[in-house]
Amino acid sequence: MADYNLERLNFLVVDDNKHMRALVKTLLHTLGSKNVQEAADGADAFKELRVFPADIIICDWAMSPLDGMDFVRLVRTGKDSPNPFIPIIMLTGHTEMHRVLDARDAGVNEFLAKPISAKSLLARIRSIIENPRPFVRSGGYFGPQKRQSATRTGVNIAKPEETTVVVASASSPAPNPEG
């Protein structure tokens, strides 16, 4: 894996626990990021996205009043979403397989289990950069194309003829890790 300069990437950290937000922010700064904004729940994060040009969102699952799953769905499919193509890393202590699949089915790019480390966080960021997936619209789903390995779990993935590949527009570029 290549070493990346994360200095110019903008991160939005969404978690209702201020200590977890501070930890994630500290880890991002340790990895070289200079621009990290915070939000205490999905509703605040959606408002923040309107004014902050985030490149990657790191979002907790369990929050109130708008939890991480509802926030992801709002970002991906909301008519007033500022950037439905933004990469999202779901951060949670709930790691049961059904939750991982639910997050994937909501449009999450990566899943990160708590407790986190700089190494695990960087691995998810690298995965987003090194393995970008095209966005697809299939039935009610809009988000990154689901990985092929998901078919091995018995999860129903849309057939190619039922899927429309959507390319990000110039107004929603992929993160540029090289600066």
Give this prediction's pTM. Answer: 0.82
Total tally of structural domains belonging to the chain: 1
Instruction: Tell me, yes or no, whether 46 lies in a domain.
Output: yes
Residue 126 has pLDDT above 90, yes or no: yes
- Beta-bridged to residue 142, according to DSSP, are 137
Instruction: Tell me, yes or no, whether 171 lies in a domain.
Output: no
> pLDDT tens digits, residue range 32-66?
999 999 999 999 999 999 999 999 999 999 998 89
The tokens for 35 are 């621009």
Instruction: Tell me, yes or no, whether 82 lies in a domain.
Output: yes
Instruction: Tell me, yes or no, whether 3 lies in a domain.
Output: no
For residue 148, what pLDDT is reported? Answer: 56
Instruction: Tell me, yes or no, whether 172 lies in a domain.
Output: no
Instruction: Tell me, yes or no, whether 174 lies in a domain.
Output: no
Residue 107's nearest CA partner among 92, 127, 87, 91 is 87
For residue 140, what pLDDT is reported? Answer: 85
CATH of the domain at 85: 3.40.50.2300
Residue 92 has pLDDT above 90, yes or no: yes
Q: Exposed/middle/buried for 151, CB within 10 Å: 0-12, 13-18, 19+?
A: exposed
Instruction: Tell me, yes or no, whether 173 lies in a domain.
Output: no
135-138 and 164-166 strand pairing: antiparallel
Instruction: Tell me, yes or no, whether 73 lies in a domain.
Output: yes
Domain hosting residue 78, numbered range: 10-166
